[in-house]
Amino acid sequence: MTHDAAPAPLTAHPSEPLRGEARVPGDKSISHRALILGAMAVGETRVTGLLEGEDVLATARAMRAFGATVEKRGETWHVHGVGTGGLLEPEDVVDCGNAGTGVRLLMGAAATHGFAVTYTGDASLRSRPMARVTDPLSLFGARSFGRSGGRLPMTVVGASDPVPVRYATPVPSAQVKSAVLLAGLNAPGETVVIEREATRDHSERMLRGFGAHVETEATNEGHVIRLEGRPELRPQNVAVPRDPSSAAFPVCAALIVPGSDVLVPNIGLNPTRAGLFETLREMGADLTYENEREEGGEPCADLRARFSPAIRGIEVPPHRAASMIDEYPILSVVAANAEGTTVMRGVSELRVKESDRIDAMATGLRACGVQVRDGADWWEVDGRGAGGVEGGATVAVHLDHRIAMSFLVCGLAAKRAVTVDDGAAIATSFPGFVPLLRGLGAPL
Ligand code: S3P
C-alpha cells in the first residue's frame, strides 16, 4: 500500500546515451482482469507474466477477501475461482490502494451479489469520482453510500435480484464499461454497454476467452457491446503481455536522450492502447516495430527507439485520446523536447486520474522552464527543441506513478537534474523502473 509509505525523493541527472534492452513488466489492465475473471470461474486459472505492482497485488488480496484462492507458485499465479455469482461477502473493508481500475472493476463484479462491501483506498483514490460506476450499478439494483462527491470510502449494497442493464457511458472509460459488464455476468439476460468512442477492449477479449458470450458492433449510436448474463466461466491459462503504457517510458527516454538506441521487446500493440506510438511516429520519432506478430490474440512487436533530434510538435487528434489516455504525461515530456507546439485536446479525463495530470505536468514542466497553457479539457506544450529543457526543479508527483516516471525521464534529457518528491509511487505499476533505467545507463 502507498498509504503510509514515507515519501522517497528521487533525482534524474542529465544522461549519457541509453542503450540496451528494456524488459518492462506485465500489462496492468490485463493483470487486474485475469485475477478478477479467474476468481469468477470454477476451477484453476493460471496466470504468467502478471504485473506484481501494488495496484494488482491489492486486487489479488481483494479476490481472496471475496472467497477465491490466489497464490504464486514459482513464476505462475494460481487462482481458484468461486464461479459466476459465487463471490463471498468480504469480512473487512476492501482496500484497493492507489488502483482506480481495481476498485471500479471490483465494485462492478460484486454489485450483482446480495451483500454489502465497503471500499477504500489511498488519498489519491479517495479523491476520485466513483459515481460514474455506481450510477450504472444502481440500474442493476445496487445501492451505494459514500462520501460527498461520490468518493471513497463507499459501501455498495449489491442487488440480490439483479436485472440486466442497457447503458450508454457518458465518459470514455474502459473502467466504467468493464464494471457494467462484470456486473452483467451475474444478471439474467443481456447486458448492453454503448460507448461513443471505443476504449480499451481487454475485458471483452478476456470474457470471451473465459467462455462468456460477448458481441461487439460499431453502429450509428456508437460502439455496442452485448454480454449474455450468467455464463459458466471456464478457467484459463493467461499469458499477460508486457504493458505498452510502461514501455512508453524507456521508449520516450530513448527518443530524447542524445545517442540512445533501446529495444523494448514483446509489447502489446492492441489498437485500443497503441495511440502514443502512432503519435510519436507522426511527430517524426525514430520508432520502429520489429518482429511484428500475434500472441494470445493480441498484436505485438518489439519496439526500437533511437534518439530523434528532429521531433516536431503536432496537434494530437482528439479521437485518439482513449487509446493513449495514460500516455499524455510522458508525451508532454517528448513535446517539451520537440520543435514547435504540441496541442492536446479532448482530454478532460486527465483531470480525474491518479492526480489531475494536466495540472501536475503543467506545474512541473513550467518549473523546468517549459511554457504550457491549459484549460478544462486541453493543454499545449511549447517545445524547446532537443536538449532544450532547463530542468533544475523538484516536482510534486501527488501519489501518481506516471507523473513520477515522466519527470524522471524529463531529467535525463534536461540541462540540469530533475527531482521528484516521491519515487515510491512508481511501485504502483512499474516496480522495477529505476533498476531497468539504470541498466540502460540512466543516472537515477
Ligand atoms: C484502465 C482504463 C483507463 C486507464 C487506466 C486503466 C483499465 O481508465 O486510465 O489506467 O484497465 O480499464 P478509464 O477507464 O477511467 O479511462
> For 19-29, what is the mean pLDDT?
97
- Per the annotation, the verdict on 326 as an active-site residue is yes
Closest atom of ligand 1 to CA, residue 173: 14
Whether this prediction's pTM lies above 0.85 is answered by yes
- Which residues form the domain of 276? 10-26+241-439
208 Cα to the center of ligand 1, angstroms: 20
SS3 345: strand
Closest atom of ligand 1 to CA, residue 132: 15
Do 162 and 223 fall within a single domain?
yes
Residue 3 belongs to a domain:
no
Do 347 and 380 fall within a single domain?
yes
* CA gap 35, 358 in Å, rounded: 31
Do 178 and 314 fall within a single domain?
no
Tens digit of each residue's pLDDT (9 = 90 or more) over 291-307: 999 876 678 999 999 99
Do 315 and 201 fall within a single domain?
no
Q: Does residue 287 contact residue 281 with C-beta atoms inside 8 Å? A: yes
Q: Does residue 427 line the site of ligand 1, with CB under 6 A?
A: no
* CA gap 131, 35 in Å, rounded: 24
Least confident of 2-11, 31-40, 292-301: 2-11
Residue type, 149: G
Residue 252: CATH number of its domain: 3.65.10.10
Return the pLDDT at 5.
62
Q: Does residue 20 contact residue 262 with C-beta atoms inside 8 Å? A: yes
Return the pLDDT at 103.
98
Do 33 and 172 fall within a single domain?
yes
104 Cα to the center of ligand 1, angstroms: 10
Which of 223, 239, 255 terminates a domain? The answer is: 239
Return the pLDDT at 296.
66
Return the pLDDT at 1.
43
Q: Which three cell numbers stand for residue 174?
A: 474502459
Do 203 and 68 fall within a single domain?
yes
* CA gap 9, 209 in Å, rounded: 42
Counting the structural domains of the chain, the total is: 2
Do 362 and 235 fall within a single domain?
no
Do 253 and 197 fall within a single domain?
no
Does 3 score more than 90 pLDDT? no
Least confident of 5-9, 36-40, 299-303, 363-367: 5-9
Residue 362 belongs to a domain:
yes
Return the pLDDT at 134.
98
Q: Given the residues 27, 55, 326, 422, select the one marked as catalytic.
A: 326
Do 22 and 32 fall within a single domain?
no
Q: Does residue 325 line the site of ligand 1, with CB under 6 A?
A: yes
The number of CA neighbours under 13 Å toward the Cβ of 31 is 27
Closest atom of ligand 1 to CA, residue 352: 15
- The 391-395 sheet, strands edge to edge: 10-12, 416-420, 391-395
pLDDT category, 263, cuts 50, 70, 90?
A: very high
Tens digit of each residue's pLDDT (9 = 90 or more) over 145-169: 999 999 999 999 999 999 999 999 9
Q: Taking the CB of residue 160, how many other CB atoms lie within 10 A of it? A: 11
Residue type, 289: Y
Alpha-helical regions (H) of 95-173: 100-110, 131-140
Which of 191, 211, 239 terminates a domain? The answer is: 239
